[in-house]
Amino acid sequence: MPYNNKFIDIAEQLKPTLIPSTVKPIARGQLAKDSSSLFSWTIVADNAENTASSDFICRNGQVAFDFGRYCVGYLSFELECEGKIDCPLRLQIKFGETIAELGESFDGFEPSLGRAWLQDEVIVIDYPVGEVKLPRRYAFRYVSITSVYNPPSYKFRITNLKCETVTSADETAIPVLSGNIPEQLRDIDRTSLNTLRHCMQTVFEDGPKRDRRLWLGDFRLQALVNYQSFKNYDLCKRCLYLFAGTADERGCIPSCVYEYPQPRSGELFIYDYTALFVPTLLEYAEASKDIDTAVELWPSALRQLEIVLKDVDSNGLFHDKKEWWLFIDWNNGLDKQASEQAIVIYCLKQALKLAELVGDSSRNSWLHTNINLMSKAAMESLFDSARQVFISGESRQISWASQAWMIIAGVVDYSVASEILSRLEGLEGVVQPAGPYLYHYVLEAMFIAGHKEQAIALIKEYWGGMINLGSDTFWEVFDPNDLKLSPYGSYLINSYCHAWSCTPSLFIRQLE
């Protein structure tokens, strides 16, 4: 791989030292089915005073702990035994972002993603007394510890169960929220930042349970919220350099990057993510005032535009040549042509601002030409003049995605944008957003179009809905009408702390 080692070195020097803290369980008890609880599982607490310890456990006994809050970190506990220790101890330890992950068996479950994402370990301890530290990092609120047919000769108990959590987010940097913000929005802001905090590790991870890695489109949203809260500019800079440093032989920046064993490309390329490197760099430079980085990475940003424009025809229209992964949203039924068209237009426009910031107007005319051509093509081919909304693909599909991105790209002005959004409500068969990532851009379009009340209502209903279910983090996938919806075959493998869902904070913190 033709990695740019200079860039990677810069990134590696910015690797943060993580901030530790200790979290202990606030309740312990037994797992039980409960149809009134999320995913029908609950922990029936036993009201013990010392919630970081268990009673003595024999044979195939089990205990479940609730840490009371989401944790990302390292679990440890001590073992105490009674009786004759004549055999190693075998334990199954399960970690759940939800209680259901503890309650449901993973046996026979064959997820399309790797089974290894499910957080359960089987450990055998030769001499089961003293401290046990699990070496891997887990993301969870709930833990169950099950004795796997241990002998009757002794029983054991867990004491001093705790999690050493880690994050690169500094809580003390968060500006105080305006006193005018109502309680529900304050809750949503708190949950947003909690979600982001757990995803801020040595990179901005998409989710600390899964995929635990840096995704370009996700990173952009995380960085935007970070600028309003934790203000960890170095972590953003590190991520920008990791992306630019792992570009392929075409100069194309990968859509995801791994840190271990050394920085490496995820070798996945998402058309929309590629283009979004441009606003991501611009926003960093604007927030951090670090113009040097913008100057150094400006050629990389321009290169992404050159690459995505290869799939735009001479009339300025994007065509899916099936060479890219088009993301936009998890909705498989979504036609993505209009959204991609709009994203490229948007990114070309952001490039003009970046050009000004770095003091290089040499490509301005090329940028203007493409903006004009693509905007014209969008109105001619992707706007339904009868229905007065944007359409996508041969099926002339009408979706929230297409309208949102065209509005964000400024293809229509403020007043038309507002009319389009109002008009959508009355139309039948409009393809809805399927997840928080696209919902973010819908919110952004609503604010642009002056639909502030509608946006706030959406925040309260959609993100507030997750809080109402008892979550202190926002989810990767959330459909209030189908809580078990999953792109991966099971809700158990969904990520329940996913940074692309943290953006309500961005809007709430801009309210007066």
* Residues of the shown chain interacting with its own copies in the complex, contacts defined by CB under 8 A: 60, 84-90, 107, 109-117, 121-122, 124, 126-127, 129-130, 136, 148-153, 211, 213, 258, 260-261, 266-268
* DSSP structure string for 185-241: HHHHHHHHHHHHHHHBSSSB-S-TTTT-SEEHHHHHHHHHHHHTTT--HHHHHHHHH
What are the DSSP E strand ranges found in 291-436?
A: 383-384, 389-390
Nearer to its own copies, 129 or 427 (CB): 129
Q: What is the DSSP code (8-state) at residue 392?
A: B
Q: Residue 124 Cβ, how far from its own copies at the closest point, in Å?
A: 5
Q: Residue 33 Cβ, how far from its own copies at the closest point, in Å?
A: 21
Q: What amino acid occupies position 271?
A: Y
Q: Note whether 184 and 403 are within 8 A (CB).
A: no
Q: Give every CB contact of residue 54 below 8 A, 6+ residues apart in sequence.
A: 28, 63, 145, 157, 158, 159, 161
Q: Residue 48 Cβ, how far from its own copies at the closest point, in Å?
A: 26
Nearer to its own copies, 90 or 353 (CB): 90
Query: b/e map of 252-284 (b: 16 or more CB within 10 Å)?
Result: bbbbbbbbeeebbbbeebbbbbbbbbbbbbbbb
Nearer to its own copies, 116 or 386 (CB): 116
Q: Residue 129 Cβ, how far from its own copies at the closest point, in Å?
A: 7
Q: Residue 418 Cβ, how far from its own copies at the closest point, in Å?
A: 42
Nearer to its own copies, 216 or 446 (CB): 216
Q: Of the candidates 227, 231, 263, 261, which has an alpha carbon nearest to the alpha carbon of residue 244? A: 263
Nearer to its own copies, 265 or 375 (CB): 265
Nearer to its own copies, 60 or 388 (CB): 60
Q: Residue 50 Cβ, how far from its own copies at the closest point, in Å?
A: 25
Q: Residue 109 Cβ, how far from its own copies at the closest point, in Å?
A: 8
Nearer to its own copies, 111 or 465 (CB): 111
Rounded alpha-carbon distances, angstroms, from residue 306 to 275, 302, 348, 382, 409: 9, 6, 10, 22, 18
Nearer to its own copies, 124 or 427 (CB): 124
Q: Note whether 43 and 30 are within 8 A (CB).
A: yes
Q: Of the candidates 405, 433, 426, which has an alpha carbon nearest to the alpha carbon of residue 417? A: 405
End-to-end C-alpha distance for the chain, whole angstroms: 49
Q: Residue 242 Cβ, how far from its own copies at the closest point, in Å?
A: 16
